[in-house]
Structure 1
Amino acid sequence: MTTLTEKIRPRRDSGATEPKPLKLPKVHTRKTTGDWVILFVAIIIGLFIAIPFVMIVINSFKSPADYNSSGPLALPSNLYFDGIINFWTRVNFPEKLWNSVVISSVVAVAAVLLSMFNAYAIGIGRIRGRTWIVVLILLANMVPQEALLYPLYFMFKQVGLYDNIWAVIIIFTVIQSAFGTYLLSSVYGTFPKEMLEAASLDGASRWQILWRVVFPISRSTLAVLLIFFFIWTWNEFLIPLTFLVSNANQTVPVAISVLQGDRLMDVTTTSASALLGLLPTLIFFLIFQRTLTRGITAGAVK
């Protein structure tokens, strides 16, 4: 007696062959004139962006005499490393590099976590007055840093954190998390309620919902914020210049600007300092380029 499964399943000894998967024809899309125009404009814009970086690299390995004789656009006749060595030793570049890495890394991680907590309470927790809170955060992002200098200077002077890297870390964590909260609250506001209700019915607490449901789905957006917060904090100049007075606490941008006022500075050393200040962020961006691309193209929560 044959079963229903045996009737449906083809026998191997019957000579039946498995159907081959269908191969869909490749669709070749021809580029239109508009596509070529956009590509040409993108290449031109990329060249304009790359020209300053190329000039910095060329003049960093050029001697002052070579620069005076051939100008800034000519290639160096001989590789000249004294400009990089002079800047490296004059400002103690490893110390400034470590300060910038610590400040930018701590600010990026802390600002992302604080933004996620705030946005989770505003976008998903549905606290009262959330609209006014988001508006207040948006207005706080519009306040220029110059207006914050004296109140922050007075406050950190009173608590004994002036000329301390933690003062800059606290300031930038609050500033960056304000933007992150505004961005994530709009994303979390469109989070599917069915998924949250299903997790709640399974017995998950709010803390578990945050780390097991919300965090994995919004990981791409959080990664983009982490990269931007690191680069933005690295390039900040005014607040570190104001709150980090001693030489041992200064960051790379502050060290470059302070050194440019030295009478012994030349163009090649200035280019070398700009190159050394740019390379860490460029390397960081190249390492996390795929993460940034995936986070931007991921879009909102599906």
Structure 2
Amino acid sequence: MTSISSDLPRTAVRRPSQFPLGKILALVFLLALMVVMLFPFAIVIINAFKTPVEYANSGPLSLPGGLYTQGIVDFWNRVDFTNKLYNSTVIAVSVAVMGIVLSLLNAFALGVGRVRGRVAFLVFFLMANTLPQEALAYPLYYFAKYFGIYNNRISVILVMTVIQSAFGTYLLTSVLTTFPREILEAALIDGCNKVQLLFRIVAPISMPTLQVLFVFFFIWTWNEFFLPMILLVSTSNQTVPLAIAVLQGQFNMDATTSSASALLGLLPCIVFFLLFQRTLTRGVTAGSIK
């Protein structure tokens, strides 16, 4: 009697390759892209800890013989970097928090409240995102002068809050438009008013999106150069990017000190991004999970 199981090894399904060629090529491409993107950062780090003599003799691509930190110390003392770091942090955090609050209020009215003409409002906010900042320089200058907030951090905070909230309103409105109406109706039946509905129902459920906006608003505001250059003229109110540009124009800095200034300008933003990396990942992937 012939066993049926004896034929199973002959008809076994061939297992797919563990590392198919397509995945290998995609991995190689992503690794090459990562190297290209990180190469400028590596050059900045290498030259920031290199002496001017080493840079002159060996060029920018050579490794430093040791950790030369005098360039970082010189730049820190020249621009009073502690003060610039404080200014940038106050402005970036204030804009991120106020921008989220303003975006949430606008999006709640447009996405949940369904006010009349909400499409026109969304088009307005979309056009505000595409408007170049150079077109705002003249009116914003006289706006700050008229209200007596020129050369004050509050001027940059107010202007950047409005600019960032234009993008935040457009994004949050598209999210809140698809908010489950059953949850809203159940909350209203249970006695929630509009304020409780916003802060107890809508805001907690939308928290991943709000966290993503916080990260984006902070980084965008930290790297902003044009508006602080117009509205902040005294050195005591300057931000980190503005201080770096002004110092390079006032002093003949060597390449190592310039690299040190670039490193100090990028490092706080990179640290902030790494601290909130998981928050950003959860916020981006939250929309795919129900």
Amino acid aligned to 2:76: W
Q: CA deviation at 1:28?
A: 9.9
Residue 186 of structure 1 corresponds to: 174
Kindly provide the CA deviation profile for residues 124-143 of structure 1, in whole angstroms up to 9, marking residues without a partner as x. Answer: 00100000010011111111
Q: CA deviation at 1:189?
A: 0.5
| TM-score, scaled to structure 2 | 0.92
Task: Give SS of 2:250's match.
Answer: coil
Q: CA deviation at 1:212?
A: 1.5
Task: Give the alignment of 1:69-80 within 5 angstroms.
Answer: 69-80=57-68
Task: Give SS of 2:116's match.
Answer: coil
Q: 1:65 aligns with which of 24, 41, 53?
A: 53
Q: How far apart in 2 are the matches of 1:163 and 1:156?
A: 8
| TM-score, scaled to structure 1 | 0.89
Residue 168 of structure 1 corresponds to: 156
Q: How far apart in 2 are the matches of 1:157 and 1:203?
A: 47
Task: Give SS of 1:212's match.
Answer: helix
Amino acid aligned to 1:256: I
Q: How far apart in 2 are the matches of 1:38 and 1:221?
A: 29
Q: How far apart in 2 are the matches of 1:277 and 1:295?
A: 26
Residue 75 of structure 2 corresponds to: 87
Q: 1:218 aligns with which of 184, 193, 206?
A: 206
Task: Give SS of 2:138's match.
Answer: helix
Amino acid aligned to 2:199: W
Kindly provide the CA deviation profile for residues 74-126 of structure 1, in whole angstroms up to 9, marking residues without a partner as x. Answer: 01123211100110000000000000000000000000111011000000001
Q: How far apart in 2 are the matches of 1:284 and 1:28?
A: 42
Structure 2 stretches lacking a partner, 5+ long: 1-14
Distance 1:288-1:29 versus aligned 2 partners, 3 A rule: farther
Residue 107 of structure 2 corresponds to: 119
Counterpart contact for 1:190–1:301, Cα < 8 Å = no
Residue 227 of structure 1 corresponds to: 215
Residue 36 of structure 1 corresponds to: 24
Q: CA deviation at 1:33?
A: 2.1
Q: CA deviation at 1:301?
A: 8.3
Q: Does 1:142 align with 2:130?
A: yes
Structure number with larger C-alpha Rg: 1
Q: Does 1:280 align with 2:279?
A: no
Q: Does 1:50 align with 2:42?
A: no
Amino acid aligned to 2:221: T
Structure 1 stretches lacking a partner, 5+ long: 1-26
Q: 2:243 aligns with which of 255, 263, 266?
A: 255
Q: How far apart in 2 are the matches of 1:222 and 1:28?
A: 42
RMSD: 1.5
Task: Give the alignment of 1:100-111 within 5 angstroms.
Answer: 100-111=88-99
Q: Percent identity?
A: 55
